[in-house]
Structure 1
Amino acid sequence: MTATTAYRPRRSVLYMPGSNERALEKAKTLPVDALILDLEDAVAPDAKEQARENACAAVRSGDYGRRELTIRVNGIGTQWHEDDLAAAAAAGPDAVVVPKVSSAAEVRQLVAALEAAGAPEHTKLWAMVETPVAMLHCEEIAAASERLTVLVMGTNDLAKELHAEHVPGRAPLLTGLGLCLLAARATGTVILDGVFNDVKDAEGFAAECLQGRQLGFDGKTLIHPGQVETCNATFAPSEAQVEEARGILAAWEQGAGAGVVTYNGRMIENLHVETAQRVLSTHEAIAGL
């Protein structure tokens, strides 16, 4: 099972093509919590090697401040995978992101490869879960190694594999999303929602961010800098939620030993206190940025 660690904000996690040097430069100024420097889908085959060099140089530069820096390598079985993994391990990002992870055995294979390539201890594994097989085995995937700290939903590939349509509310994907959320919470693993494809549909994006937060995701992966602000706001506790959390904790402390504690007419139990503490720790971590 993944070890529990201090909360780190991952509200907004932006994909940036490793082949686009201008985009990598712009990323240094964006208010994102994390970046995925992409060597996979966003990069043409003839640009793969240059993208790899650019991404590793970006990681080594130290120019990205408090942003969590990760590199998405090409998948297991592709002609670029082994070289990508070795180069990323040597660069030592916060994490290596691997697409289409479908089994616990693959997780163990990836962890062994990172260790063999000399990846530093701080370089974790983020596994993308994108297929029906991954949905059905997500708990085993999440529990396979303590080095795996984040699950990333690959909703576009999942929709393709399901022969499903992209519709508002994502009803065709909810079973898969729910299975992966259950797996993440059962194993103490962070989980990120998938991307929203239409960068011009601000209203649809805002609605999907809200849905993701309500379902329980820790944050969302993004494909455009214009999506960052809405995502950050949605996945942070609101002022009202922070105020309520403080009120619940104050009422709990004042009522210690009283047997029954109420706040605004509602009975307060341990579970409400734990939720309030999580809200405040999230708020404080975000404020600390």
Structure 2
Amino acid sequence: MTNAVRPRRSALFLPASNARAIEKARTLPCDVVILDLEDAVAPAQKEAARAAAVAAIRDGGFGARELAVRANALDTPWGADDLMALGEAAPDAVVLPKLEDAATLSRARAALGDRPALWAMIETCAGVLALPAIVAAAADHGLTALVAGTNDLARELRCRAGPDRMPLLPALGQIVLAARAAGLVALDGVINTLDDQAAIAAECAQARAYGFDGKTLIHPAQIAAANDAFGPADAEVAAARTLTAAFDGREDEGAIRVDGRMVERLHLEEARRVLALAEAIAARDRPPLSHPNERDDTYFRQ
């Protein structure tokens, strides 16, 4: 299990129609780049954005970053053509927006072929209610991640989600619960704040506390906070090393005493996961942002 751990702390959305943003993404310290063909692209630019995404996949240059593409929904004029093109281009993952049933997973898998992996955005009330059926079909259809679509979900709920996101927390909890039940990755929704680093850090910390593996982002200025929140802290890594060392040679014991508390094999498995994540992060090339708090509108200029 731990050998398969891959950092997905920060997943940056960017318009596939924006060549400058794509080029810049190749240098950013995010774990995942998501080229967007859906919300961030105007209808008149859909076909050009699709071609640009395919070209970006072909050209590569993203290093260790995972490369995903958010397609348009299958019930739109562009969805089928998106999946046909992406099936041939084969990014690491295709993100399906507003997924509400397992049948759509099946249609997407048939259109894409065996690759790439599927990520499902849960951003409607129907999608939340369908989570058990969706994750039950995950293994058969190559679904590997659930992504919270908090903006669309808040709009559909007609709720007023303030800084504490209280009205959204029940749905967010269900997304994490469903992901864990099926062994999937869980990514939190975007935060629209760009300049308030304290607010960004607070929302990332909240998502980490809820059990998410990472957070989707809309701007490079948000990457540092997400990487900090979802990467294991030094104290957490040190505790994991102490625990695994204590179990060395005692793997046949169900529970042992470590630093004045009883720990069980379930704690050993979690400690191993933490160490694998820390090792994977350390192995990555993570160049820092030169000015992480500086407003950069590259991602909003087309």
TM-score computed with the length of structure 2 as normaliser: 0.89
SS in 1 for 2:4: coil
Indicate the residue corresponding to 1:221 in structure 2.
216
Find out whether 1:32 has 2:50 as its counterpart: no
Structure 1, residues 149-173: CA drift from partner, whole Å, max 9, x if none?
1111101111111111121221101
Identity over aligned residues, as a percent?
52
Of residues 177, 181, 185 in structure 2, which corresponds to 1:186?
181
Matches within 5 A, 1:120-199: 121-146=114-139, 147-199=142-194
Q: Which amino acid aligns with 1:100?
A: K
Indicate the residue corresponding to 1:262 in structure 2.
257
Q: Which amino acid aligns with 1:205?
A: I
| Structure 2 Cα separation of the partners of residues 73 and 113 of structure 1 | 12
Matches within 5 A, 1:1-289: 6-115=4-113, 121-146=114-139, 147-253=142-248, 261-289=256-284
Gaps of 5+ in 1: 116-120
Is the 8 Å Cα contact of residues 193 and 219 (structure 1) preserved in structure 2?
yes
| Structure 2 Cα separation of the partners of residues 84 and 173 of structure 1 | 30
Q: Which amino acid aligns with 1:55?
A: A
Report the Cα offset of residue 282 of structure 1: 1.0
Q: Which amino acid aligns with 2:228?
A: A
| Structure 1 Cα separation of the partners of residues 62 and 183 of structure 2 | 27
Is the 8 Å Cα contact of residues 139 and 184 (structure 1) preserved in structure 2?
no
| Structure 1 Cα separation of the partners of residues 93 and 175 of structure 2 | 20
SS in 1 for 2:69: strand
Is the 8 Å Cα contact of residues 139 and 187 (structure 1) preserved in structure 2?
no
Is the 8 Å Cα contact of residues 11 and 219 (structure 1) preserved in structure 2?
yes
Q: Which amino acid aligns with 1:92?
A: A
Q: Which amino acid aligns with 2:35?
A: L
SS in 1 for 2:8: coil
Report how many residues are paired.
282
Is the 8 Å Cα contact of residues 108 and 145 (structure 1) preserved in structure 2?
no
RMSD (Å), alpha carbons: 1.7
In the superposition, relative to structure 1, how do residues 205 and 259 fare at CA in structure 2: closer, same or farther (>3 Å)? closer
Structure 1, residues 184-232: CA drift from partner, whole Å, max 9, x if none?
0111111110000111221111001011111111110000011111111
> After TM superposition, where is structure 1 displaced by more than 3 Å over at least 4 residues in a row?
254-260
Is the 8 Å Cα contact of residues 127 and 148 (structure 1) preserved in structure 2?
yes
Q: Which amino acid aligns with 1:171?
A: M
| Structure 2 Cα separation of the partners of residues 86 and 233 of structure 1 | 37
| Structure 1 Cα separation of the partners of residues 7 and 153 of structure 2 | 26
Bigger relative CO (Cα 8 Å, ≥ 6 apart): 2
Is the 8 Å Cα contact of residues 11 and 235 (structure 1) preserved in structure 2?
yes
Indicate the residue corresponding to 2:291 in structure 1.
none
Report the Cα offset of residue 4 of structure 1: 9.6
In the superposition, relative to structure 1, how do residues 87 and 249 fare at CA in structure 2: closer, same or farther (>3 Å)? same
